[in-house]
Amino acid sequence: MATNRARVKSVEDSIRDTDEPGHRLKRHLSGLDLAVFGVGVIIGTGIFVLTGVVARDQSGPAVAISFVIAGVVCGLAALCYAEFASTVPVAGSAYTFSYATFGEFVAWIIGWDLVLELALGAATVAVGWSGYLNQLLGDLGVPLPTSIAGDEARFNIPAIVIVAVMTAVLVLGIKLSSRVTSVIVAIKVAIVLLVIAVGVFFVKAANYTPFVPPAQPPAADASGWDAPLVQTLFGFMPGTFGWGGVIAGASIVFFAFIGFDIVATAAEETKDPAKDMPRGIIGSLVICTALYVAVSLVVVGMQRYSELSAEAPLAEAFSSVGLPIFAGIISLGALAGLTSVVMILMLGQSRVLFAMSRDHLLPPAFAAVHPRYGTPYKITIVTGVFVAFLAAVVPLEELASLVNIGTLFAFVLVSIGVWVLRRTRPELPRTFRVPMVQVLPWVSAAACLWLMANLPGETWLRFVVWMALGIGLYFVYGRRRSRLAAGGSLDPATAGERETARNRATD
């Protein structure tokens, strides 16, 4: 018990570390900047693809309700992130929060887990960006050679290029990153609003009937490792359509919301994190939920849900009403959307690894901050190289679901962590508080666990293997070299005693 206590890093120590010379990040971001970051990473392929897939196969026209349900589940987790980020305004997000509540071992686990969400997610999106670019160039009559772009390419050159460019932007400063993101977000939100404004004139009321199609028995195609874990363990197979299909659809469109937690990784670079963090996290989620619901209602109103395309539902919906020119516009919006997603996922990954390096769980040299730009340039470059390598040579289709399970696992720990920190450190100043703290965090954790249980057994197996590798690395390197192991502050009381002793010595 004493050992575990010795490896909990106090909130005070985490905040104190942000003022260390050589590790101090520049505070440039406002609440609006954070909301733009959130919108920038949330609105990606989800709004352009998942709408059609879920409407056609799960929810029918009630896909809008699926988005609302998913938004509520994410909202519960967002409340927990908002309280943590305003209380512990330090880079690292779920990693830093876990260090202050569960201790170093769990913090390492969540930091290692976040690589699944952030680095792997950025690589996956970079490959998708390459595909959209090639599609857009193909529509213009100048497609790229298959040897450098596409699924058959040995090295995906466009994916490498976009990662390299975004890495350079991140190194040159957080303010430049926010400006680039603002421009990109303005473009893709304008295109989404254009889709809604034009599409609403082609909506047919008959396409909304029945709004919730009659329930159908589940397909028995999936078995073994391909089957959802809940089916393997309990024999429960989610159905299609009906209200069961609406809820099952929510578990799919949930992943269109992944990314709002990235806002919390920029807490240390925010001017007034106590106020701006909750605004940025919750504001971005509300904006994106509203856009998702509006787009889904327009799409299913333009084209019968059973006829929607799984690959490009928005473009096909406009083609079905005689407006094929919108296919190119939508591809441009998707390209802009994926550009900001790549950058912000890499921003989040570099800040998590920066915090781990500053705690010496990773080599401390990576925690160096550029004297001019005020960014963790070394770990940002390392992140860029790693993501570029994955995007260039690794087939990511089979691994993409790891992004989802990694994110949900982080949500579970953050949700429970809010409840734990309320009990262990009730005196901490909190500008934002989760309402009904005895209930909502546990509801959030349970909802995330349920969505995890709907992922295939194969994904769980890979997740366990990845976690086992991380645990091994911790005991080989991090446990012996961490700052707490080397005599860092243990808890608030110890930190206070050390400060008193230092003051006496000065006197």
Least confident of 205-219, 249-263, 428-442, 481-495: 481-495
**Exposed, middle or buried by CB within 10 Å (0-12, 13-18, 19+), for 205?**
exposed
Domain contains 95: yes
DSSP category for residue 330: H
CA distance 399 to 406: 11
Of the listed ranges 105-114, 311-320, 452-461, the least confidently predicted one is 311-320
The pLDDT value recorded for residue 1 is 36
Number of domains in the chain: 1
Mean pLDDT confidence for 9-19:
76
Q: Helix, strand, coil proportions of the chain in percent (round to 5)?
A: 70, 0, 25
Band (pLDDT 50/70/90 cuts) for residue 483 is confident
Examine residue 392 and state whether it is found in any structural domain, yes or no.
Answer: no
Tell me which of 49 and 79 has the higher pLDDT: 79
For residue 440, which amino acid is it?
L
Q: Tokens in use for 142? A: 């100048």
Mean pLDDT of 162-174: 89
pLDDT at 468: 94
Structural domain contains residue 427:
yes
Residue 22's pLDDT is 60
pLDDT for 38: 81
CATH code, 38 = 1.20.1740
In sequence order, what are the residues at sequence separation of 6 or more whose Cβ sits closer than 8 angstroms to the Cβ of residue 219? 240
The answer, yes or no, to whether residue 347 has pLDDT greater than 80, is yes
Q: Is there a contact between 313 and 199 (Cβ–Cβ < 8 Å)?
A: no
Label each residue of 351-364 as H, E or C.
Answer: HHHHHHHHCCCCCH
Q: 287: which strand partners?
A: none
Encode pLDDT of 156-167 as tens digits: 888 899 999 999
In-domain check, residue 237: yes
Confidence of residue 383 (pLDDT cuts 50, 70, 90): very high
Q: Has residue 375 been placed in a domain?
A: no
Could you give the CA distance from residue 444 to residue 79 in angstroms, rounded to a whole number?
A: 9
C-alpha angle 183/184/189, rounded to 5°?
100
Within 10 angstroms of residue 106's Cβ, the number of other Cβ atoms is 18
Instruction: Kindly state whether residue 339 falls inside one of the protein's structural domains.
Output: no
The reported pLDDT for the residue numbered 189 is: 86
CA atoms within 13 A on the CB side of 307: 14
Alpha helices by DSSP H, listed for 254-371, are 273-302, 313-320, 325-358
Distance CA 61, CA 63 (A): 5
CB atoms within 10 A of CB 17: 22
The four Cα atoms 270, 273, 275, 281 give a dihedral, to 10 degrees, of: 80
49-194-322 Cα angle (round to 5) = 75
CA–CA dist 378, 362 (Å, integer): 13
Nearest CA to 310 out of 131, 67, 42, 55 is that of 55
Q: Cis (ω within 30 of 0) for the bond into 210?
A: yes
Mean pLDDT value across residues 424-446:
90
Mean of per-residue pLDDT scores for the chain: 80
Residues 493, 496, 500, 506, Cα dihedral to 10°: 140
Task: Give the mean pLDDT of 228-232.
Answer: 70
**260 vs 474 pLDDT, higher one:** 474
Q: Does 227 fall in a domain? A: yes
| Residue 40 confidence (pLDDT) above 50 | yes
* Distance from C-alpha of 216 to C-alpha of 301, rounded to nearest angstrom: 22
Residue 489 has pLDDT above 50, yes or no: no
Residue with tokens 């928005």: 314
Residue type, 330: I
- Residues 445, 130: contact at Cβ < 8 Å? no
Q: Considering only 70-79, 421-430, 450-459, which range has the smallest mean pLDDT? A: 450-459
Q: CB neighbours (10 Å) of residue 306?
A: 11
118 in a structural domain: yes
**More confident position, 232 or 444:** 444
List the single range of 61-65, 194-198, 262-266, 376-380 with lowest mean pLDDT.
262-266
Is pTM beyond 0.95 here? no
The closest alpha carbon to 111, from 482, 501, 497, 495, belongs to 482
Residue-number span of the structural domain to which 472 is assigned = 2-125+199-333+400-506
Question: Which pLDDT score is estimated for 190?
Answer: 87
Q: Torsions phi, psi of 471, nearest 5?
A: -65, -40
Asked if residue 400 has pLDDT above 70, the reply is: no
* CA neighbours closer than 13 Å in the CB half-sphere of residue 405: 23
